Structure formats: C-alpha cells, structure tokens
C-alpha cells in the first residue's frame, strides 16, 4: 500500500488559542510533533508548511458577512458595536469566544488543510496529514464548538471545485461532525460519515441515524451514534462494518478524514470508554479503503482531543505511523507493551501533574469493567444495522 506521505505543520498554529483555561489547547501539536521526532518517525523531508487561506477560499463555505465579523472581532480592541454583535455570529460563548488575531490564526489552519488537499490531488504525495485542522463544528454563518472557520469543509469544497472529485469525509471525533454534514447535506458528490457519541447526551446534539441528506444528496449522509461507555470492540465493529459499505457504495475519488481523539476513556468532555487501540485500528481501516477506492488518495486532519498529555500525542502519532507506514507499527504489533521514547516522557513529565503513559497502547486489562457492557453492545449493533440498511 506504499505511498509517499507529507506532514503539514507550522509552529504558528498554536496561535489558535481562546484563553489560558480553555480546553482546546494547541500545545498538543507541539507534544505530538516532539513525540514523533523522538521516535525518529518524522523527518524534515516529510514536512511542508501551510499558507493562510484567502477570503475567496473561506467564502466557499462561509458567508462574507461572517468572515467580516471574524476579522472585526480579531482586533486587539474590537469596537463596542462589533462586541455587541458577537453573539449573532456565535463568537461570544464560553465554548467559542472571540480572541485577538482570531482570523489570522484560523486562516492558517484552513490553509493547512487546503495545502494537504493540493499535495494529494496535485500528485505531490499519496497521503497528507494536517493535525492543526479538523475544526468541524463551524457553520457557514457562525462559529461553534471551539471552531471559528470550518477548515474541513473548506478543504472539501476546494477539492471539488479545483479537481472535480467525489469526496468521502470520515469523522471519528466523539462529537458529531455537524458543520461538515450540513455544509454538504444536499450534495450528491460529497458523502459524510460520522461515528460519535449519541447526541442525546453530548454536544452538538445532532448526528442521528435518520439524518441521511436531502434532495439529490439523500443517502450521502451516514451517522453511527454510539452509546455512552462504548468500548473498543463495539466501537470498531460498528465503524468498520458501516464504513466499508459506505465506501463501496459511494465510490469516492478522495478520502478526507477527521481524527478527533476524544472518544478515549481519559477524555474529560465525553462519555465513551475506548482505549488507544481504536486510534491504531481506525487509521489502518481508512488507509486500506483509500487504496481500494481512491488510488491511495487520503487527506487526514486533527480534531478534538482534550487530554493533551496522555491521549492526543499517542493517538495522533499512531495516525502518522500508519499513514507513513513506519516500521514502528510492525514492532508495536509484535510487542503491544512497547515503550514510548523515554526522553519524551522525561521531557514532559515535569509539566503534567499526573503520571504520563510510558507505552504506546493502554493496559486495558487493568481497567475496571464497564457495567451494562452487553446492553451497550446490543444497542450499538442495532444502530449499526439501521445504518447498514440504508446502504443496502
């Protein structure tokens, strides 16, 4: 399955920062890149830098009015008039508050995802990863869920307009990929697949199996909502079975995947109880499907993930190891207890109050068993069967 993989990264992407206490913390990018470097899995010839997206690109998804509001609220001292209007654009909430330099910082994130698309569809690489992206909640006219601009939707729109491709968007974030779904809900050439915790209990409250698209796009929206406290085996069973059928039916030219890693048991903002195993397995499945259906064309983005010390660096590193087909993956398969680089643990341990993990995967056998495991699994299988029926 070999294909050249590129890693899109710019140190300035950490400027996307709402405030010091906000759970969305881009320091996780620094931790991940450092882990990959210490694991000798990221070399300079794999790195490419993004350019900021321009207004034309932003307005392929967002309204000009919204972009103007983001720019105005990005000033060091926004006018009283704009501050009073921030609520109209979803930028005055605890989740998504405006901040100085917001437009510039988010434009780089959007530009990074566009750069990844150009690298793959322009023939520069077979795969490209942009961990700074994955802001999947932003809507055409407002920000939401820690997301100011929707880089995933803009990147998909760019792929379609410039290259004329059919895009399968795969969202593995524990929160439903609502902003991308609604952006392409009537589009027959964009299929959105999202596995997530059910919206009954979690933001954004959408993502039911019954959301299937509309008009000529009917049937190109696939949702697989999981029950709280779902574990690895049930999550992966539902993910793999429905996604394989989705890809076979839709026949994409390009896969764009979003890799929020907040379905982990340690994540503080959700209720799923998965381990690092799903973050090894899901990229492997997506990688295989990219080669089966898209001649290997695969763009991967970051996303949610709020345990930035114990979860995100390992999960995103496993994604890159799969995408780049690094030998460490084979070593990990042969030795599931393989240790993380000791110098990475030593460097970052003083910055974190609890013990950092010392292995790539979790010792799940030491975790307390989840009550109602059978009922949760049966409920998820019922959801999987409904989603699969739509693909019959």
Residues labelled catalytic: 137
C-beta contacts of 332-341 below 8 A and 24+ residues apart: 332/280, 332/360, 332/361, 336/361, 337/361, 337/363, 340/35, 340/39, 340/314, 341/35, 341/38, 341/39
Sheet holding 5-8, edge to edge: 47-48, 5-8, 127-130, 298-301, 254-258, 167-171, 190-197, 221-226
C-alpha to C-alpha distances, 36 to 30, 61, 231, nearest whole angstrom = 10, 33, 27
Euclidean distance between CA atoms 153 and 159, whole angstroms = 10
CA distances in angstroms from 334 to 37, 274, 330, 339, 341, listed in the order given: 22, 21, 6, 13, 17
* β-bridge mates for residue 222, sequence order: 193
Q: What is the spatial distance between Cα 60 and Cα 153, in angstroms, rounded to a whole number?
A: 9
Q: In 122-201, where does DSSP find H-type helix?
A: 151-163, 178-183
Label residues 324-361 b or e (16+ Cβ within 10 Å = b): bebebbeebeeeeeeebbeebbeebeeeeeeebbeebb
Instruction: Please say whether the beta carbons of 169 and 156 come within 8 A.
Output: yes
How far apart CA 235 and CA 283 sit, in angstroms, is 14
Helix ranges, 122-225 (H)? 151-163, 178-183
Burial of 30 (0-12, 13-18, 19+ CB in 10 A): middle
3-state percent helix, strand, coil for the chain, nearest multiple of 5 = 45, 10, 45
Q: Are 185 and 214 in contact (CB under 8 A)?
A: yes
């Amino acid at each position: 399955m070999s294909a050249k993989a590129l890693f899109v990264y710019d140190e300035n992407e950490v400027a996307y920062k709402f405030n010091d206490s906000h759970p969305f913390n881009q320091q996780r990018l620094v931790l991940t890149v450092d882990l990959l470097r210490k694991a000798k899995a990221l070399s300079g010839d794999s790195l490419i830098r993004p350019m900021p997206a321009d207004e034309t690109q932003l307005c392929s998804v967002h309204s000009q009015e919204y972009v103007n509001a983001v720019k105005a609220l990005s000033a060091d001292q926004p006018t009283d008039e704009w501050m009073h209007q921030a609520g109209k654009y979803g930028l005055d909430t605890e989740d998504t508050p405006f901040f100085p330099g917001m437009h510039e910082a988010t434009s780089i994130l959007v530009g990074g995802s566009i750069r990844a698309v150009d690298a793959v569809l322009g023939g520069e690489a077979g795969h490209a990863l942009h961990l700074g992206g994955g802001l999947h909640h932003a809507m055409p006219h407002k920000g939401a869920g820690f997301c100011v601009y929707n880089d995933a939707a803009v990147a998909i729109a760019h792929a379609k307009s410039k290259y004329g491709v059919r895009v399968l968007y795969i969202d593995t974030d524990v929160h439903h990929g609502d902003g991308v779904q609604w952006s392409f809900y009537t589009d027959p050439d964009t299929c959105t697949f999202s596995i997530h915790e059910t919206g009954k209990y979690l933001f954004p409250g959408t993502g039911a199996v019954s959301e299937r698209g509309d008009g000529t796009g009917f049937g190109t929206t696939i949702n697989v909502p999981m029950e709280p406290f779902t574990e690895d085996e049930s999550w992966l069973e539902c993910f793999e079975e429905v996604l394989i059928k989705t890809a076979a039916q839709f026949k994409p030219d390009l896969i764009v995947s979003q890799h929020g890693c907040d379905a982990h048991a340690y994540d503080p903002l959700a209720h799923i109880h998965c381990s690092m195993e799903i973050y090894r397995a899901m990229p492997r499945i997506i990688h295989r499907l990219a080669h089966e259906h898209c001649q290997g064309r695969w763009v991967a983005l970051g996303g949610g993930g709020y345990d930035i010390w114990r979860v995100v660096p390992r999960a995103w590193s496993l994604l890159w190891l799969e995408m780049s087909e690094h030998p460490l993956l084979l070593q990990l398969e042969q030795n599931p207890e393989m240790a993380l680089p000791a110098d990475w643990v030593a460097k970052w341990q003083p910055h974190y109050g609890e013990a950092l993990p010392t292995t790539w995967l979790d010792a799940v056998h030491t975790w307390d068993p989840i009550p109602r495991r059978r009922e949760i699994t049966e409920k998820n299988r019922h959801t999987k069967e409904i989603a699969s029926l739509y693909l019959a």
